[in-house]
Structure 1
Amino acid sequence: MLKIPEDIVEQVRSQTDIVDVVSQYVQLKQSGKNLFGLCPFHEERTPSFSVNEEKQIFYCFSCGRGGNVFKFIMEIENLSFPEAVKKVAEMEHLDIDAKYFADTTPVTRETSEQKQLIELHEQTVKLYHHILVNTKMGRTALDYLHKRGVNDETINVYQLGYAPQTRLLKPFFDERKVDYQVLRKSGLFSENQEGQLRDRFVDRVMYPIRNASGQTVAFSGRLLTKNPDLPKYLNSPETELFNKRKILFNLDLARPNIRRHQPALLFEGFMDVISAYQGGIKSGIASMGTSLTEQQIYDIQRITREVVVCYDGDTPGQKAIKRAIDAFKQTNHQLDLKVVSIPDGMDPDEFIRHRGADKFKALLQHAESPIEFDLNYLKQQANLESEEGQAAYISEALKLISTVRSDISKDLYLNRLADEFAIDKQVLKQQLQPLIRKKVTKHNQPAQRPETLQPAAQATQKRDKVVVAQMQLLNRMLHNHDVWLKVTGISGFSFVDEQFQMLYLLAEGYFAKFDQYNVATFSNLITEDSLQSLLMNVEMMNLPEVPSPMEIDNDLDVIMNRAPVETKIKKKRAELQQAAKIGDVDRQRQLMIELLKLEQQKRTTEQV
């Protein structure tokens, strides 16, 4: 039972544009009547996630998830329905009386254990942050951060903390009688052979790591006192909450800024992100100390088309940039990718601290293309002192140039190569053409367009006729009052499949309250995911605007006349199989006669 009154729920929904909300998580592009993007609920390369602004609903043609704006937030943020209503109201800055949300007990859809682990991490954040900013134990760590140029406001934004030399975390949770098994699984403690737990992080500046929803799921601790026997940085281990291949540091804070048409700035380290944020550059994210993964690239591609790689300017940093570019290439991304080379071997944090955020912003304005970086990187690795080395470099450079899509850009790169090595440009062109033809042959298959996914009629061709008839009729009944009256006036009418019948019964309840049909409002009455998905599938059908009497009559004929015969045939076939298994010859003979009669009846109804 909803704790928030239905009229308040509808008030929030009606004042919210689902496109504005979804766009904060998914990059959408208009295609026909709908907007399409990469589904945030499963990994895909071709957009099948659709938002219909007119109906205020979303639907994924691949995984089947769908619903209104509340359902989207429930799915993406793992929230209960009341929490989703509250979240949407906050996101849209709607002036709703707080008393309506006072009783929305946080009943998230995560498992009980996940909730406990997240709560454990959130309490740990508060404890370590308090120690850093309010105690003598944290003074040295606070001085360290101040010397690194991190001000108090930034420390509060990122809830930076300090894990002291005195192990306080285990006693802290023991006092609160937290379950031992939950502590074990949290990643906050190390365990000896006797099963005793001790604080994992000791004498470290603590950087909370949050997931895309802003929940703390792990930590990275920077050693405060030098110790050659200990790693400088220590991350939480992999847990039920934390998979470093999937997490992007600062994505929760950066995403709103990226959505406001700022490029995603991809950094290597936490301090790079934090320094940039403090300098007013708030679209920075970082991978978790590993090479960029396919999952991370996918998450970036869902929210933006512009990415600038801002790794360190030293040799390891340049190699890391090369790996990142190659990782992007392997995913066949559709991103506008650029690269910033930090001068003098500095990392972004150093550059911003010593030369200022404005100078760093100027570097961003002159970011180079990946091909530009690759050519420079290739040149640094080549031996240009010998003719053999020059020939090898030119050969590899032409391979890179052959991947450039723009003919003008290709020509400019050829001019530069010809001038640099005093070679006839025509000779370079002759060597380039076979490479281009090879690329064209390899990639001559046209990419699937989002439009091919949009018409539900294409999908329905593969469906059973009875299912199609039920989908079409339900669609017409919901959107056309005359059709609704016609069907409900038929004595004993019911849909063949239980799920369609359930939607039909729910619609009866809806129309008892509302005169006009609104799918986004109707979907609030539906709690089962499978019914939500079916309703969205029905809504996404590409039907003529006005139904013809013949269409309705045909659908009714299939549902009321043909479908019962087909159901009986399926039942008789199952019975025949069972009779054959037990060797009942007389029963098999009788069932065969009944099946023949039913098949004849089916052919007769199809000819009518």
Structure 2
Amino acid sequence: MISQNTIAQVFETARVEEVIGDFVQLKKSGSNYKGLSPFSEERTPSFMVSPVKQIWKDFSSGKGGNAVTFLMEHEHFTYPEAIKYLAKKYNIEIEETQRTDEEKAQADARESLYLVSEYANTYFQRILHTTDKGRAIGLSYFKERGFTEETIKKFQLGYSLDEWQAFTDDALGKAYKLEFLEKTGLTIVKEQKHFDRFKGRVMFPIHSMSGRVLGFGGRILTSDKKAAKYLNSPESDIYHKSKVLYGLYFAKQNIAKEDNCYLVEGYTDVIQFYQTGVKNVVSSSGTALTPEQIRLINRLTNNITVLFDSDAAGIRASLRGVDLILEQGMNVKVCTFPDGEDPDSFARENTLEELTVYLQENTKDFIQFKASLLVREAQNDPIKKAETIREIVNSIAKIPDPIKREIYIQECAQIMDISENVLFSTLAQINKKEYQDANKKYKKDQRAFEVVRNEEVARPKIDIQFELEQKIIQILMLYGNREEEFEDLILKEDEVSGDLILEPVKQAAKVFEKIYLDLQEDEMQFTNEGFKTLYYNIIDRLHQDEQFSTKDFINQLDQNLASTVTSILMEDEKYNLHDWHRNNIIPKGKEDTIAQLVSQTILSLRCHLIDKKVAEYKEETLKEDANSKTIIEDVKDYLGLKMLLSRKLGKVVGGQAVK
């Protein structure tokens, strides 16, 4: 187990904006940062990070927390794994007590898959660097590809011996279970026999965005025509090839920095580009590009440059991936290499300066590239040219931004020498068909929904007490230790007219003391158990610690309560997502009216509780044995109190007494 000293040091050192910035492109928004949600598909940012409070909130999914909870949610880490990851990131030495056999046995299956994969990665690297066969075969191959020793170690490249059970026997000898070796795909089990999947291959470990080994790609070095040239790990609980990009772990910071991502096809393309000095590069690892992979890039940048080799057939097939990128609302450019060249060979044969200049001079907007490619194929055939134009317009139709669509239509008209009106008409036809198809689906879904809706109960009303209790927790967390001047309104008789008036009496107090005393005075209790627990925890901490820290308090709560507090604290931040200040709409900050906010919240809670009490009395009058006279007198008393409180509330909110 990790010592408390290490955990405290991690929480003290880790910065939530730095940790999340490794996974999501964050942009400054006032005192906060915002970005696209890493937990849902969206084009408008709903993800907010607060450096001051050291918390984050994703308004699209409802998730929130601190740096540790982000890693647990995004990377599916356990709590100890998240602490270890942060310790490594910030160079904090981990003090750890020895785990017992029972604790090891309790590790879940998912973690076991990670452990097996990490061990395999270490094993393949050891074979590559320390054995005669590894150096003679595997290391020689990498050196022939032009990879330096530094690059080989950076990407953790390895070698699997050309023996049937070398790796599996070694892993079993280290007490790793055959069950997990099989589930990761490292070992193939058939009829009581087992053998290595990657036998005789150089190994490319595939990392998650945080650097955990998810699976492997292996390249065969023999000329065996029956064996696949490249072999990937099969799908598992930790490896889903459609949701992973090779090299993203190494490229993520450079992608965000350069605000562009180069997309290539293979492992060696990525490594060669990185070694040459172009580090914002990833690969789909030979699989067809998927929306999930595109969204991974979209968290870091809105710009993708797709790099193709000179193989025309391969380019044609890859254009489908470009349409997927357009559908996600991203900006796409394309660059091809000279005949006989691919990204790997071109980077190997050129300096960084030469590679950079080539990319700058030969990168085209997707519409220019697609048009020139398809025009060459159509040549002078008018029917093929018409099909080409329709195909280009089909791609433009996938772009969600209407302004971009119009610009591309104008550009296409110039390139293809055709009227803009014809292209706009074609685009309208395509959009109409898509609309009709979508409308049919919508109507079908609606018919199914009607059946369900007819059986639904009425939507519950807003829980006013829940909202007010939540507001009290928020005020205590944000301003509990602040001293404010509160204005209480005392009911007095006017000496001249004899009427009852509200006379202000001012008194200085800390916010938490004012709230505590007001709630105690009327014996008001929280009805939400989570809020009740938080309320007494916060009050206790504020009584004891004048240097109360929101960050420290959250870090010491269990995950459920920590998530609740984060949601409460970030509730108001969602309005900053809409750039109100840019539109000259300036919401009044709570800091300017803390005393007013406290008084308003407490008075509102009192009024609400009176309404509940009156409703209860009304229910009592319906009972046969009810003492109606007594109940009516009590109701009158409560209504009188409600009127008084409403007058006070009117004074607090608007400065005018409620008549």
Aligned residue for 2:60?
62
Shift of 1:369: 1.3
- Out of 349, 370, 375, which is 2:371 matched to? 375
Give the Cα–Cα distance (whole angstroms) in 2 for the partners of residues 493 and 311 of structure 1: 69
Q: Tell me the secondary structure at the aligned position of residue 285 of structure 1.
A: strand
More divergent stretch after superposition (47-56 vs 403-412): 403-412
Shift of 1:30: 4.2
- Aligned: 1:284 with 2:281: yes
Unaligned runs of 5+ in 1: 444-460, 573-588
- Aligned: 1:224 with 2:221: yes
- Out of 14, 23, 26, which is 2:24 matched to? 26
What is the one-letter code of the residue matched to 1:544?
K
Unaligned runs of 5+ in 2: 436-459, 482-509, 573-588, 644-659
Give the Cα–Cα distance (whole angstroms) in 1 for the partners of residues 288 and 408 of structure 2: 30
Deviations 1:311-357 (A, max 9, x none): 33212331243021011123x32x33211112214221122223444
Equivalent residue runs for 1:454-465 within 5 Å: 463-465=462-464
What is the one-letter code of the residue matched to 2:590?
P
Partners of 2:160 and 2:201 within 8 A in 1: yes
- Out of 316, 319, 323, which is 1:322 matched to? 319
Aligned residue for 1:41?
39
- Out of 518, 530, 538, which is 2:568 matched to? 538
- Aligned: 1:341 with 2:372: no
Taking structure 1 as the reference length, what is the TM-score of the superposition? 0.80
Equivalent residue runs for 1:7-406 within 5 Å: 9=8, 17-31=15-29, 34-79=32-77, 84=82, 87-88=85-86, 90-91=88-89, 98=93, 101-103=94-96, 112-138=108-134, 139-166=136-163, 167-192=165-190, 194-330=191-327, 332-333=328-329, 335-366=330-361, 367-382=363-378, 384-394=379-389, 405=403
The 1:220/1:605 distance shift into structure 2, 3 A limit, reads farther
Equivalent residue runs for 1:459-608 within 5 Å: 463-478=462-477, 479-481=479-481, 482-489=510-517, 490=520, 492-529=523-560, 531-542=561-572, 544-545=590-591, 546-547=593-594, 548=596, 550-557=599-606, 560-562=609-611, 608=643
RMSD: 3.8
Quote the sequence identity (%): 30
Partners of 1:188 and 1:200 within 8 A in 2: yes
More divergent stretch after superposition (79-88 vs 361-370): 79-88
Give the Cα–Cα distance (whole angstroms) in 2 for the partners of residues 27 and 357 of structure 1: 26
Partners of 1:496 and 1:563 within 8 A in 2: no
Partners of 1:3 and 1:82 within 8 A in 2: no
Give the Cα–Cα distance (whole angstroms) in 2 for the partners of residues 66 and 285 of structure 1: 29
Aligned residue for 2:485?
none
Aligned residue for 2:648?
none
Shift of 1:363: 2.8
What is the one-letter code of the residue matched to 1:24?
D
Equivalent residue pairs, number:
551
What is the one-letter code of the residue matched to 2:208?
N
The 1:601/1:389 distance shift into structure 2, 3 A limit, reads farther
- Aligned: 1:429 with 2:478: no
Deviations 1:467-499 (A, max 9, x none): 111111222233244342123221544311001
Give the Cα–Cα distance (whole angstroms) in 1 for the partners of residues 169 and 614 of structure 2: 70
Q: Tell me the secondary structure at the aligned position of residue 305 of structure 2.
A: strand
Partners of 2:2 and 2:95 within 8 A in 1: no
What is the one-letter code of the residue matched to 2:516?
T
Shift of 1:294: 1.3
The 1:162/1:82 distance shift into structure 2, 3 A limit, reads closer
Give the Cα–Cα distance (whole angstroms) in 2 for the partners of residues 68 and 179 of structure 1: 35
Shift of 1:249: 0.9
Partners of 1:470 and 1:555 within 8 A in 2: no
Partners of 1:565 and 1:598 within 8 A in 2: no
Partners of 2:394 and 2:430 within 8 A in 1: no
Give the Cα–Cα distance (whole angstroms) in 1 for the partners of residues 431 and 625 of structure 2: 58
Shift of 1:145: 1.9
Give the Cα–Cα distance (whole angstroms) in 2 for the partners of residues 236 and 277 of structure 1: 24
Shift of 1:17: 4.3
Q: Tell me the secondary structure at the aligned position of residue 403 of structure 2.
A: coil
Larger Rg: 2
Deviations 1:84-111 (A, max 9, x none): 4564465456xx6x4xx32377999x95
Give the Cα–Cα distance (whole angstroms) in 2 for the partners of residues 602 and 236 of structure 1: 73
What is the one-letter code of the residue matched to 1:4?
Q
For CA contacts below 8 A with separation 6 or more, give which structure has more relative contact order.
1
Partners of 2:47 and 2:56 within 8 A in 1: yes
The 1:471/1:369 distance shift into structure 2, 3 A limit, reads same
Give the Cα–Cα distance (whole angstroms) in 1 for the partners of residues 310 and 30 of structure 2: 45
More divergent stretch after superposition (280-289 vs 479-488): 479-488
What is the one-letter code of the residue matched to 1:528?
Q
Shift of 1:176: 2.1
What is the one-letter code of the residue matched to 2:154?
V
Give the Cα–Cα distance (whole angstroms) in 2 for the partners of residues 600 and 59 of structure 1: 49
Give the Cα–Cα distance (whole angstroms) in 2 for the partners of residues 36 and 231 of structure 1: 44
Give the Cα–Cα distance (whole angstroms) in 1 for the partners of residues 256 and 229 of structure 2: 34
Shift of 1:409: 6.4
Deviations 1:398-448 (A, max 9, x none): 666786835666555534433xxxx7xxxx1332443566789999xxxxx
Give the Cα–Cα distance (whole angstroms) in 1 for the partners of residues 635 and 242 of structure 2: 56
Give the Cα–Cα distance (whole angstroms) in 2 for the partners of residues 162 and 511 of structure 1: 58
Partners of 1:212 and 1:252 within 8 A in 2: yes
Partners of 2:124 and 2:158 within 8 A in 1: yes
Deviations 1:255-275 (A, max 9, x none): 122232352211110011111
Give the Cα–Cα distance (whole angstroms) in 2 for the partners of residues 279 and 375 of structure 1: 31
